[in-house]
Structure 1
């Protein structure tokens, strides 16, 4: 059972937050990593952009960029379209970095990152080290990708308000139910919150459960994410609650809610399972405020 489960990337995407760090590339980008220089993010298409030029600019695999955004040949992109960026192929370690912070920045499993780079406990890295980032799609095997040297053109005027698409309404999380967060399932805590051996960290708790057992919403909220795209979690649900709280439910066998759906505390949202990087039925459960992971057992 892997104890480190980074879901910060999904939390950022669900909340549409900007990152603390800024990208050093000239392209307009909304970063949702932490402080990593070339972290994954969202690129807003500008005049003259192509899939090839964007992939080169961010040093990512063009195939991964295409797959991440479900693009089809001839890969036409539109002005001001928002493209999700996959993790870069490599990252150069900076002062203050650790394997833990880098894994969180790119939303990859720490143990996978260490294995990809042949690192062993205590996972020492040094400024200037170049790490390969796993799960970034097809790796570029033809050498270092050069950043496009074409001068940045003058900013194209943004479309008028009349031509902008009407944004979809966003469901507001309902007021919280009386009392604290409720246990989503009842069972033995297999792994508690906090640091583990060999530098690993659990941002939530893992609760033993029977396969198919109903998993219930811990508090009133709105479904912010459903899917299996976060490495290691299997089928995952994120709920957004009032006052910037979020809760996460991983390793589900089945999901019974949809994104944007309003749910009530105690409502069944899925069934426990063993999808993702676990070998016994269980639920990975997290509570966060913003993107900060909290110890769930202090809130249940």
Structure 2
């Protein structure tokens, strides 16, 4: 090709580039494996701005939220595609909650919707209804407790080693099991599922893998030396997914968590 032809080809390429769509590429397109970004997901307040390498599962996990709840708040449909620069809200606003909705002003004065108030004295409430309410609440609590542990997920220990730290119910307590062993020890999927996060953007977790097992259950594997799976990859129970390490930790150990509807639960209740 002559010099003139090369110049024309370059001009055509530049014109094509200028006319292309400048909308940011979705994170699911940009990110299909271990993240290379250096940032950490820092949740402060009611919102978070998406960066390259983030996933909605990782954001929800960091905020201790169910990903479905976060998706609903932000009107994001499955498969939860998000974009760099997008603002993700983590709670409904007061206006969305309908606590006190502001109405159009009338004669320059702001009007507020009025809520009906039950003026019936508490003593006049029917006692049988009160008893029935208590019974329903007790039954509901019992049912929820059973469904929490009698689930259909087949669980298996994620690694061999010594349990050196256990789950704590305290607000700032340890929310998983710490399993210690030698560097490079195999870390295996505790149940069959799909990889919804594989990276190092969550503060305090180092190289982290999050698996989705059902709509309600996730499991997390932190501080790995090496990640052996990619996002959207399907894994079987017992399959090796990482090697034990000490990333973002002071010693070599696996931090293993189980999340039920976004909340950390005691893994010892599930493991054989």
Give the TM-score of the pair, scaled to structure 1.
0.43
Tell which structure's C-alpha radius of gyration is larger: 2
Q: Please report the TM-score for the alignment, with normalisation by the length of structure 2.
A: 0.48
